[in-house]
């Protein structure tokens, strides 16, 4: 195992993982804050360090469409996008998952227009929640590298064959330089099997991909797709276990921090978790029994792990970095409520929305969120959606 710790920008770490995975095709269209990823990949291809075809397409719609083609012919395929780009891909995303094409994509999460914002939040993710992809959140540069590498293994597993997104907070992760451990090529080669699609396009064994489904058969194609996506969790766990054996770095669908004996839990996704941890540390020092839950696996939703992680808590405070306009709460909180509703005993749930369009959330603000959440729970104000730090 590579023991040398080096400093690297998040985007470059992603490119490094794609290079080590020996991807065959990269099709991408530039969009802030994803640009450094694809620039670096184009450079690696131009220098012969990555033996791949780089397709500089004319839109994100075509980027994902080209990915469909290269993946269907049996090539290991990668792309990256952000915000508006993910939205432009929208209809193609559903085709990728329905045709079971294991494309790997990093999304440098970005707010949606308007007003135009190139900065990070999770509006883009939430708009693609139901597209049938495996979706994983990273919290720091080491995780970005590790999870992109694992994503190829997960996606291409013969029993999975689902496209996989690794969510990386725009700027906060894509542009930050942190220290990380890379892996040697031989280690990756041993870890990552070769991609082989059982029904790849080939004149020797003609297949029809993408036939249309009339009402008498459409449902029959959708049910197995949902079953297969849910079942992919088993492989996700296996791959992460295998990865931990190689690196000592262990990933799980729901991760906790000081949560075991906590009465109050805060739930976040992505890079904000590390700031939230500092707030938890501070409040613990003050004697408060608070902890943190980080949802790493967004799809398939890890119901068992999640229910188990929050089982002992009295209160669960959810911070969303996206809005569901006119909806009940933030989009993540709605899912959390749905996941816990069938249980007889469950924590009270309080919803906050913040960190939109690249706005930072500081340690004191996280403390404030937790305190206010506790106060609201006491007052029984459970049905309020509160946006934090809004100037009025």
Partner 1 sequence: MESLAIYAPRLVTTKEYLASGHRACSGCGEVLAVRLTCKALGRNVIIVNATGCMEIVSSQLPYTSWEVPWIHTLFENTAAVASGIEAGIKVLSRKGGYSQKTKVVAMAGDGGTMDIGLQALSGALERGHNFIYICYDNEAYMNTGIQRSSATPFGASTTTSPAGKISIGQTSWKKNMPAIAAAHDIPYVATACTSYPFDLMNKVKKAMKVEGPAYIHVLSVCPTGWRLPSDLTIKAGRLAVETGVFPLYEIEAGKYTLNFDFPQLRPVEDYLKLQGRFRHLSKEVVAQIQERVKAEYAKLKRKVIQGS
Site membership for partner 1, residue 128 (CB under 8 A)? no
Edge-to-edge, what's the strand order for the sheet holding 297-299? Answer: 53-56, 25-28, 77-81, 104-109, 164-169, 134-137, 297-299
CA 296 – CA 107 distance, rounded (Å): 14
CA 153 – CA 157 distance, rounded (Å): 6
- Cα 118 to Cα 169, 175, 382: the distances in Å are 11, 13, 33
Q: Report, in Å, the least distance between residue 207 CB and partner 1.
A: 6
Closer CB to partner 1, residue 70 or residue 365? 70
Instruction: Give the dihedral sign, CA 369/372/374/376.
Output: negative
Selected from 20, 67, 118, 183, the binder of partner 1 by CB under 8 A is 67
Closer CB to partner 1, residue 74 or residue 358? 74
Number of residues that bind partner 1 (CB under 8 A): 46
Q: Report, in Å, the least distance between residue 136 CB and partner 1.
A: 24
Q: What residues have CB less than 8 Å from 64, skipping those under 6 apart?
A: 27, 79, 89, 92, 93, 96, 103, 105
Selected from 37, 41, 66, 107, the binder of partner 1 by CB under 8 A is 66
CA angle 166, 360, 10 (to 5 degrees): 35
Selected from 5, 46, 91, 179, the binder of partner 1 by CB under 8 A is 91
Selected from 217, 231, 338, 375, the binder of partner 1 by CB under 8 A is 217
Dig out the tokens for 362 from the structure. Answer: 């500081």
Find tokens 């139901």 and name the residue.
Answer: 130
Site membership for partner 1, residue 219 (CB under 8 A)? no
Using alpha carbons, select from 391, 321, 317, 392 the residue that is nearest to residue 356. 321
Selected from 4, 58, 261, 341, the binder of partner 1 by CB under 8 A is 58
Q: Report, in Å, the least distance between residue 91 CB and partner 1.
A: 6
Partners of 80 in the β-ladder:
106
Site membership for partner 1, residue 204 (CB under 8 A)? yes
Selected from 11, 12, 14, 24, the binder of partner 1 by CB under 8 A is 24
Closer CB to partner 1, residue 22 or residue 288? 22
- Are the CB atoms for 349 and 333 separated by under 8 Å? yes
Q: Report, in Å, the least distance between residue 128 CB and partner 1.
A: 16
Site membership for partner 1, residue 56 (CB under 8 A)? yes
Q: Report, in Å, the least distance between residue 55 CB and partner 1.
A: 5
Span between the terminal Cα atoms of the chain, in Å: 53
Stretch that binds partner 1, among 92-100, 120-128, 160-168, 311-319 (CB under 8 A): 92-100
Q: What residues have CB less than 8 Å from 73, skipping those under 6 apart?
A: 200, 201, 202
Site membership for partner 1, residue 46 (CB under 8 A)? no
Selected from 113, 185, 221, 238, the binder of partner 1 by CB under 8 A is 221
Selected from 69, 175, 178, 307, the binder of partner 1 by CB under 8 A is 69
Q: Which of residues 222-261 bind partner 1 (CB under 8 A)?
A: none
Using alpha carbons, select from 24, 76, 5, 22 the residue that is nearest to residue 187. 22
CA 139 – CA 148 distance, rounded (Å): 12
Selected from 201, 228, 382, 385, the binder of partner 1 by CB under 8 A is 201
Site membership for partner 1, residue 52 (CB under 8 A)? yes
Residues that bind partner 1 (CB under 8 A): 24-25, 27, 51-53, 55-59, 61-63, 65-75, 77, 91-92, 95, 99, 201-214, 217, 221
């Amino acid at each position: 195992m590579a023991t040398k710790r080096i400093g690297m920008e998040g985007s470059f770490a992603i490119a490094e993982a794609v290079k080590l995975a020996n991807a065959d095709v990269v099709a991408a269209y530039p969009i802030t804050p994803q640009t450094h990823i694809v620039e670096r990949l184009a450079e690696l291809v131009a220098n012969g360090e990555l033996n791949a075809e780089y397709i500089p397409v004319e839109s994100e719609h075509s980027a994902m469409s080209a990915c469909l083609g290269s993946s269907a012919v049996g090539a290991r395929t990668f792309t990256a996008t952000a915000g508006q780009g993910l939205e432009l891909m929208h209809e193609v995303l559903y085709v990728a998952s329905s045709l079971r094409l294991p494309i790997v994509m990093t999304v440098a999460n970005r707010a949606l227009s308007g007003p135009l914002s190139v900065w990070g939040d999770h509006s883009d993710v939430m708009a693609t929640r139901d597209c049938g992809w495996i979706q994983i959140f990273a919290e720091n540069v080491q995780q970005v590298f590790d999870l992109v590498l694992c994503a190829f293994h997960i996606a291409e597993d013969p029993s999975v064959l689902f496209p996989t997104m690794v969510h990386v907070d725009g700027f906060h992760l894509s542009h930050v330089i942190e220290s990380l451990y890379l892996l040697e090529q031989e280690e990756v080669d041993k870890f990552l099997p070769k991609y082989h699609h059982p029904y790849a396009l080939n004149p020797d064994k003609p297949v029809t991909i993408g036939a249309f489904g009339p009402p008498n058969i459409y449902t029959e194609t959708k049910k197995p797709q949902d079953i297969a996506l849910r079942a992919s969790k088993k492989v996700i766990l296996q791959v992460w276990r295998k990865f931990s054996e190689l690196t000592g770095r262990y990933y799980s669908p729901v991760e906790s921090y000081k949560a075991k004996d906590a009465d109050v839990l805060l739930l976040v996704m992505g890079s904000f978790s590390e700031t939230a941890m500092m707030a938890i540390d501070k409040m613990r020092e003050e004697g408060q029994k608070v902890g943190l839950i980080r949802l790493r696996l967004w799809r398939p939703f890890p119901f068992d792990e999640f229910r188990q992680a929050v089982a002992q808590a009295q209160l669960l405070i959810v911070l969303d970095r996206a809005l569901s306009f006119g909806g009940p709460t933030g989009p993540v909180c709605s899912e959390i409520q749905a996941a816990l509703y069938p249980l007889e005993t469950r924590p009270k749930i309080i919803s906050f929305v913040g960190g939109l369009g690249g706005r930072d959330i500081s340690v004191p603000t996280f403390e404030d969120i937790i305190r206010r959440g506790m106060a609201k729970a006491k007052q029984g104000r459970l049905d309020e959606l509160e946006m934090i730090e809004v100037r009025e």
